[in-house]
Amino acid sequence: MKIPLKTLLVLVSFTSAACNSEADNRTPKDTLQTSYTRIDSCKETVQNDNAAFSILDCGKVGEHDLHITVQSPTIFTVRLKKGSAEAMSEFEELSGDLPLETGPVLEWYSDNHQPRFMVFRVSWGTDDEPFQMHERLVISYIAKDRICPLATVQVKSNKNANEKTRELIYDKFLSTTECPKTVLSF
């Protein structure tokens, strides 16, 4: 059976439009890929057993080199570097000079191999009770030169804190394009 050229062109156009509309119907949840970095799998780069700090090489997140600087008990800095650009976390903006306890895993939400959000479990106390740790999931936005906190989700008061965190990323923060002036608390 021979198909007329005009009919064939209409079919090709229709198929192409259907494929394009299928790609356009992707939801924001479809565009983000989730990955994890286990901190205990990072390699120490400081060759001094008496060093008061650590610099961990954690491989890559997408196209970015990932390093973590630890100076216990108050400083824990995540660094993403690509070429000459470097973005650093700002946990001390939340905890001040209070001691921190950090979780074992960094959770990344990336779009086309570019990290957009980082979630990390961090605990700190209050000025009155600095060692009475309160566990939070910190959602951070990854800007060109900063990894800035967007929100904290209290683990104790949110029964499904992990679900709440994902919900906030997809429903509230997905359109974020800059660091906020204030950090939300849930």
Asked if the structure places residue 18 within a domain, the reply is no
- Total number of domains constituting the chain: 1
Collapsing DSSP to helix, strand or coil, 100 comes out as strand
Residue 10 lies in a domain: no
Domain that holds residue 153: 28-185
> What does the pLDDT look like over 2-53, one tens digit per residue?
555 444 333 333 334 444 434 444 445 667 999 999 999 999 999 877 778 8
- Sequence-distant (6+) residues with CB within 8 A of 110 are 32, 33, 34, 35, 61, 62, 116
pLDDT in tens, 104-145: 999 999 999 899 999 999 999 998 998 899 999 999 999 999
Is 6 part of a structural domain of the chain?
Answer: no
List, for residues 57-73, the tens digit of each pLDDT value: 999 999 999 999 999 88
pLDDT at 16: 40
Which of left, alpha, beta for 38 (phi over 0: left; psi -120 to 50: alpha)? beta
Does residue 172 sit within a domain?
A: yes
Q: How far is CA 176 from the centre of its chain?
A: 13
Within-domain flag for 22: no
- Is the pLDDT higher at 13 or at 156? 156
Report the pLDDT value the prediction gives residue 7, as an integer from 0 to 100: 42
Q: What is the pLDDT of residue 15?
A: 37
